[in-house]
Structure 1
Amino acid sequence: MSHPGQISFQDATSPLMEELLYFHDHVMLTILLISGFVLYVITALVTSSTWDYFAMDHEVLESIWTILPAIVLIFVALPSLRILYLMDEIDNAHLTIKTVGHQWYWSYEYTDYHELGFDSYMLPTDDLTTGFSRLLDVDHRMVVPTSSPIRVLITAEDVLHSWTVPGLGVKADAVPGRLNQATFLTNMVGMFFGQCSEICGANHSFMPITIESVPLSAFENWVSLMIENE
């Protein structure tokens, strides 16, 4: 099971994060091939007794080592541009949630529903029970329907924050006076954790993000319950 404190990537829980992991593997393979080729050339130059160490120029070789890196850059840039386009593409979002960063907690407003909003504070260690995650769980989770495109409008009230959920491949700065936009889609039921990844003050590490993905019917029941309790 993935954990935000681990060294490797978390398991992908959204199509966007899957694309980012594929791109990471693609780039790492490219770097491995380049490193292996460079190591081979260095070894050949050091061990070869037929190499002309006094050669001052070689037009063909210079052309090759100019064109070849350009081809490699194109090989890396095209998938990167595709993912950047996918990250910015927001088409027919089913739900819009406004996220506001405060010192040191998050607040959420479900703009598609009248007066549905709440603050989300980290659960103190003394209040944790079995099944809750220390320093990651909150008193009010951000609940979203599974397999539905979600648009998140992100801003801050006081200082810079960063709304980050690694498992979903989402990371956007929360800037006072500015509204940033991010989108995600969960492809499974579960809970996904994140934290503010901007150094926003003394309690920077104590403003976690918890997203709970539930089936559409359960989400509608949750909305009805929240509105009744307002």
Structure 2
Amino acid sequence: MSIKKLFPILLLGLAVITGLDSAAVAAVGQAEPWQLGLQDPVSPVAVEGHNFFVLVTWLMTIITVIVLVLLLYVLYRFSAKRNPVPSKTTHHTLLEVVWTVVPVLILLIIAIPSFRLLYFADRVEDADLTLKIIGKQWYWTYEYPDNGNFTFDSLMIDEETAVAEGKKRLLDVDNPVVLPVDQNIRLIMTSDDVIHNWAMPSLFIKLDAVPGRLNETWTRIPGEYAGTTFYGQCSELCGVNHAYMPIAVKAVTMEEYEAWVAKAQEQFASVDLPSSVSVASAE
């Protein structure tokens, strides 16, 4: 393949991996057909994660282009036709130092923002509320310990219902998570059976739910996204119905959240068991 034919392919690949057109085609909270790049970042962690992704992608692209140019130059300059007597050089101290030091510097450039992002996403010191997430085969259970400790299961709605109600196939659920905007929300995850993974791309969350272990992260949804539903899926192979564990998070204002909590406390069961149980008489 000639250079002229190869160049457009390289430009297309560069556009795809850098997501130059992602803002034009990506919808908030969900993926879109023919989308390029990541979903639009929403939370503070997502914004930092998106910036880190752009940094690493450009570094990767620059390195790839440099290596490609060097290979093409070597193919041209040291071909048998132009270099009939090959060099017998076996060592070059300066060159060996350069190709050792430069990769180390590149790794440092990647490592510093990487660790900063890792610790930023790890936990929030002053959370306004906590959401506990429990993975099960093959649905999610949610608990709200700061709002009466009620709990509910969230299952994917069947395809017929989704089509009839105009909802999203394989993504919408019967009971979505409801979270208030402009609040720091602590997310605690675990599992009742096998390893699951609670993944929400727009919020830059992808954390394992492991049996016998509590994993923690946090998120914050800006007020401008009130009324938006964000979609995700289980991202850890967990059995035959792994593909049918969607996640739906609805962002609402604080007033709407308080109204929903009052209704949910009556609709859903409480995690706390009663101290005594009355047994009906058989008579």
Under TM normalisation by the shorter chain, which class is it?
Answer: over 0.9
- Residue of structure 1 in register with 2:156 after alignment: 122
State the SS of the aligned residue for 2:171. Answer: coil
Sequence identity (%): 37
Q: Does the 8 Å contact 1:4/1:194 carry over to 2? A: no
- Residue of structure 2 in register with 1:69 after alignment: 103
Residue 120 (structure 2) pairs with residue 86 (structure 1): yes
- Residue of structure 1 in register with 2:45 after alignment: 16
Q: Cα distance 1:212–1:59, how it changes in 2: closer, same or farther (>3 A)?
A: same
Q: Does the 8 Å contact 2:130/2:185 carry over to 1? A: yes
Q: Cα distance 1:115–1:89, how it changes in 2: closer, same or farther (>3 A)?
A: closer
State the SS of the aligned residue for 2:41. Answer: coil
- Residue of structure 2 in register with 1:141 after alignment: 176
What is the Cα deviation at residue 43 of structure 1?
Answer: 2.7
State the SS of the aligned residue for 1:137. Answer: coil
Residue 199 (structure 2) pairs with residue 167 (structure 1): no
Partners of 1:54 and 1:154 in 2: how far apart? 60
Partners of 2:253 and 2:133 in 1: how far apart? 22
TM-superposition CA deviations, 1:74-93 (whole Å, max 9, x none): 11111111111111131201
The correspondence for 1:38, drawn from 57, 67, 77, is 67
The correspondence for 2:133, drawn from 99, 120, 124, is 99
Partner AA of 2:207 in structure 1: A
Partners of 2:244 and 2:71 in 1: how far apart? 49
Partners of 1:159 and 1:170 in 2: how far apart? 19
Partners of 1:16 and 1:115 in 2: how far apart? 27
The correspondence for 2:248, drawn from 210, 224, 228, is 210
Bigger Cα Rg: 2
The correspondence for 1:225, drawn from 240, 263, 270, is 263
TM-superposition CA deviations, 1:109-134 (whole Å, max 9, x none): 10112242111111112223444211
Q: Cα distance 1:175–1:65, how it changes in 2: closer, same or farther (>3 A)?
A: same
TM-superposition CA deviations, 1:124-150 (whole Å, max 9, x none): 122234442111111111100012111
Q: What is the aligned residue count?
A: 230
Partner AA of 1:162 in structure 2: N
Partner AA of 2:253 in structure 1: P
Partners of 2:159 and 2:75 in 1: how far apart? 60
Q: Does the 8 Å contact 2:190/2:215 carry over to 1? A: yes
Over aligned residues, Cα RMSD in angstroms? 1.9
Partners of 2:263 and 2:181 in 1: how far apart? 19
Scaled by the length of structure 1, the TM-score of the pair is 0.92
Partners of 1:183 and 1:131 in 2: how far apart? 31
Q: After TM superposition, what 4+ stretches of structure 1 lie above 6 angstroms from structure 2?
A: none
Q: Cα distance 1:126–1:41, how it changes in 2: closer, same or farther (>3 A)?
A: closer
State the SS of the aligned residue for 1:26. Answer: helix
TM-superposition CA deviations, 1:21-68 (whole Å, max 9, x none): 111111111111112222222233333357962212111121111111
Partners of 1:76 and 1:222 in 2: how far apart? 43
- Residue of structure 1 in register with 2:9 after alignment: none
Bigger relative contact order, structure 1 or 2 (CA pairs below 8 A, ≥6 apart) = 1
Runs of at least 5 residues in structure 2 that lack an aligned partner in the other structure: 1-25, 269-283
Partner AA of 2:59 in structure 1: T
State the SS of the aligned residue for 2:143. Answer: strand
- Residue of structure 1 in register with 2:217 after alignment: 182
Partners of 2:212 and 2:198 in 1: how far apart? 16
State the SS of the aligned residue for 1:100. Answer: strand
